[in-house]
Amino acid sequence: MYKLIAFDAYGTLFDMYFMGQLAEELFPGYGQAFALMWRDRQIEYTRLVTMSDPNPAGSKHYLPFWDLTIRSLRYVCKRMGLNLTAEYEKRLMDQYVRLTGFADSLSVLKAIKGKGIFTAILSNGSREILATVVESNGLKPYLDQVVTVEDVRLFKTAPQAYELLLKAFPVQKEEILFVSSNAWDALAAKWCGFDVFWVNRLGHPFEEIGEEKSVLIITSIIAAVLTIIFLLSFHLQ
């Protein structure tokens, strides 16, 4: 039986759609491509600083996720030849603090807490920013902890990032279920030893490495919680 269900934040509990919408408003005709490149560069920077010095004590290249997000934003604007004014930068970054939860996020967390199971966010994100977003979306009463990689100074997909859950809660790996909308995140958590739900909200193909059958694929976290409740007495193999 699972004692802890942990969720990724961005794209899993919180909707990133409005980042692209705002980008389109500021840079007409570039919004979707801009948002995708910004997100890709953001994740690429997290991997670069982690892989270049995967020290268990933390990477010497580590910068907080917020800082990497700003730097990736500036890079993408230069790459695409877009004029990033101070006003535009502030508006785009402020949007990260105003992200809204998916329609199913609150009800899912409520249902899980109703079963007496620990709930958490495990994220690359900055603790202060996540705390604001969690609070503004009314999720705080239904989350036992917001766990961030700031504590190990290594981003996902480093095993140390996922193993933070073992330090934060009195549970074993086999008692944890991890839920993410990012296939790479789901796969890395599986490789770390967790059971995993991949919330494929966008209908993307699974990664071409690893085994798709090793994770349970669903299309919404409402589907996740219904499956969780059904399988509470079982262990996914």
Residue 232 has pLDDT above 60, yes or no: no
Spatial contact of 126 and 150, defined as CB atoms under 8 Å apart: yes
Per-residue model confidence (pLDDT) at position 178? 95
Mean of pLDDT over the chain: 91
User: Does residue 214 or residue 174 have the better pLDDT?
Assistant: 174
Does the annotation count 144 as an active-site position? no
Tell me where in the chain the CATH 1.10.150.240 domain(s) lie.
17-97
What CATH homologous superfamily does 4-14+101-231 map to? HAD superfamily/HAD-like (3.40.50.1000)
pTM of the model: 0.90
Task: State the CATH class of domain 17-97.
Answer: mainly alpha
Spatial contact of 9 and 221, defined as CB atoms under 8 Å apart: no
Tell me where in the chain the CATH 3.40.50.1000 domain(s) lie.
4-14+101-231
Q: Which of 8, 53, 94, 144 is catalytic?
A: 8
Q: What is the pLDDT of residues 84-99, one digit of tens each?
A: 999 999 999 999 999 9
